[in-house]
Amino acid sequence: MNALDLIHPEWAVHKTVHAFFTTRHGGVSMEKFSALNLSHAVGDDQEHVAQNRQILNGYLPSPPHWVTQVHSNTAVTAETSNETTKADALYTRKQRTVCGIMTADCLAVLFTNRSGDQVAVAHAGWRGLAEGVLRQTVSKFTSIPSDLLVQLGPAISQKHYEVREDLLQRFVDLDNTYPVSYNHLRAHATVLDTVCRLLLEKKTKKQKKKKK
């Protein structure tokens, strides 16, 4: 079996919850798709993609549930979806179920609760963030906000993908209570990372108010 170069998130979750991020190493795709391309939609040899997915399956308790990602705010239950389902987040309460999301320069965002009986993953680019994909994903959980744990995945760095001020302003316009400073973000953090954290913080605060 090909050895995959996996990135494991450093988060303190229940022992029943497992997650990792793949890299492009360990597959059979050639040239610009080298080597572990998992997408059928980018022009790669379909047989190579099938082999790459089979390699990945060897690391998992069951084949992943995939969806057609469209930069939306749609979150679906993994067991009731398939690869033609248009969505950008998957959620499950079923054991040994794998939720799969593909990213390039967008963020993969992992979710679980402290008891480890609910998990989700979201594909979060700026379009999905603006549309509320994180809010929709959090809304799938029955746990109270303080029980949720979230991990941001690897993504393109600010050094290689600077977000223009007009794009950041779109998020400020969604809710002007966000304590967002463009200059601060440029100096201290990647913009999408920070926006993700702010959106999640805002969502959990709203849910706390509803619980009171």
pLDDT at 178 over 50: yes
Please state whether beta strands 107-113 and 89-92 pair in parallel, antiparallel, or not at all (unpaired): unpaired
* pLDDT for the residue numbered 187: 43
**Residue for token digits 């050895």?**
3
* 114 CB-contact burial (10 Å; exposed 0-12 / middle 13-18 / buried 19+): middle
Radius of gyration, CA atoms only, the chain: 18
Please compute, for residue 202, the number of CA atoms within 13 A of its CA located in the half-sphere on the CB side.
20
User: Do 135 and 35 meet the contact criterion of CB atoms below 8 Å apart?
Assistant: no
* pLDDT for the residue numbered 145: 83
For residue range 24-78, list pLDDT tens digits in order.
999 999 999 999 999 999 999 999 999 999 999 999 999 999 999 999 999 999 9
